[in-house]
Amino acid sequence: MLYYKIDVLDALKQAGYTTYRIRKEKIIGEAQLSKIRAGEIVSKETINTICELLGAQPGDFLGYRNDNE
């Protein structure tokens, strides 16, 4: 199962992207922000946006663990 290795919203905030700014500039939709808050994995497009904003690769903030073990 995929999971977030870091607090994505906190990392975005440290990069200058507060949730207010993200909403105001329509960078990421409210539904996707809610998913991030809940720890749910977001769409591929949102992952692309997060990578762009943070200058990161998906593996920098996403991890995988096998929940069947």
pLDDT for 29-39, tens place per residue? 999 999 999 99
pLDDT bracket for residue 69 (50, 70, 90) = low
Q: How many domains does the chain have?
A: 1
CATH number at residue 32: 1.10.260
pLDDT for 53-67, tens place per residue? 999 999 999 999 998
- 50, two tokens: 């997060």
The dihedral of CA 66, 39, 7, 52: what is its sign? positive
Evaluate whether residue 69 is within a structural domain: no
pTM: 0.90
Range of the domain at 39: 2-64
Evaluate whether residue 26 is within a structural domain: yes
Cα–Cα distance for residue pair 46/2, rounded to 1 Å: 15
Evaluate whether residue 29 is within a structural domain: yes
